[in-house]
């Protein structure tokens, strides 16, 4: 077992390992477990009652968080002509077409999100094997394949969280920074959980929102009760 740092141990002492906290308590507590000198991100993990091996039970989507993510999101856009200009005016960090494909093939990955117009998806497909494993492949399901590139770029830059269930049926996403404080983290977490809940596949039976936890980048996981969201 890896040795834990003194800072991690100190943060862990604030959390009761076997306890499932009330949602509001967890949002306050997670901000208190920060220990690093940098402003740690707050991550949330939700276990879903799905069979992720079945395509029809895939869960994927996005949500604009009320308080953003607290960081600069670098956006790459695949577009041409007027749509390329629209993306640049909206604040996209890099815009291109075939030239962007070649840059990515050459190892350029200096971006956090990718947006593409539908007519550019054939080009995007050429680097799909590079974008996909990093969770960067644009998709209509999360609104990143669209002709409305200006609005989408602004939304992503402002702090839009994208989520996707992994093979184990778990959704993981960032919901802000420790410096946000409990109230803003609660608002962001609420928006994300509600968005995930609305993404429940029709073929998923039983409890959909099974369990969840949140943590700082360098801190321990804090389990919290999802009952308020199941009953909403």
Ordered structural domains, the chain, with CATH: 6-59+165-230 (3.30.190.20), 75-158 (3.40.50.790)
pLDDT band per the 50, 70, 90 thresholds, residue 55: confident
Beta pairing partners, 163: 61
Mean pLDDT of the 106-114 span: 93
pLDDT surpasses 50 at 112:
yes
Q: What pLDDT score was predicted for residue 146?
A: 95
Instruction: For the chain, give the percent of residues with pLDDT over 70.
Output: 94
Q: What is the mean pLDDT of the chain?
A: 90
pLDDT surpasses 50 at 1:
no
Residues in CB range of 221: below 8 A, 6 or more apart: 45, 213, 214, 215
H-helix or E-strand containing 7? helix 6-12
pLDDT band per the 50, 70, 90 thresholds, residue 6: low
Query: Picking from 18-22, 162-166, 193-197, which range would have the lowest pLDDT averaged per residue?
Result: 162-166
pLDDT band per the 50, 70, 90 thresholds, residue 75: very high
pLDDT, tens digit, 9 for 90 and up, residues 164-186: 888 889 999 999 999 999 999 99
Q: What pLDDT score was predicted for residue 162?
A: 85
Q: What pLDDT score was predicted for residue 142?
A: 84
Of 190, 231, 232, the residue nearest 212 (C-alpha): 190
Residues in CB range of 75: below 8 A, 6 or more apart: 91, 92, 93, 94, 111, 112, 113, 114, 115, 153, 156, 157
């Amino acid at each position: 077992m890896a040795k834990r740092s003194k800072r991690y141990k100190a943060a862990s002492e604030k959390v009761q390992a076997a306890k499932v906290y009330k949602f509001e308590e967890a949002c306050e507590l997670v901000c208190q477990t920060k220990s690093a000198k940098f402003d740690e991100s707050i991550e949330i993990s939700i276990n879903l009652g799905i069979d992720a091996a079945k395509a029809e039970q895939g869960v994927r989507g996005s949500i604009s968080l009320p308080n953003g993510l607290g960081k600069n999101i670098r956006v790459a856009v695949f577009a041409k002509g007027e749509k390329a200009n629209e993306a640049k005016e909206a604040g996209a960090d890099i815009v291109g077409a075939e030239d962007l494909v070649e840059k990515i093939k050459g190892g350029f990955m200096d971006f956090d999100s990718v947006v593409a117009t539908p007519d550019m998806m054939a080009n995007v497909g050429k680097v799909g094997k590079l974008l996909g494993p990093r969770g960067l492949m644009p998709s209509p399901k999360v609104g990143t394949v669209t002709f409305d590139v200006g609005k989408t770029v602004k939304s992503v830059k402002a702090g839009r969280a994208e989520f996707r269930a992994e093979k184990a049926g778990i959704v993981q996403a960032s919901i802000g920074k420790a410096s946000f404080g409990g109230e803003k983290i609660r608002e962001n977490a609420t928006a994300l959980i509600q968005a995930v809940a609305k993404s429940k596949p029709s073929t998923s039976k039983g409890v959909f929102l099974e369990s969840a936890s949140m943590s700082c980048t360098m801190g321990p996981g804090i389990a919290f009760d999802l009952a308020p969201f199941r009953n909403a």
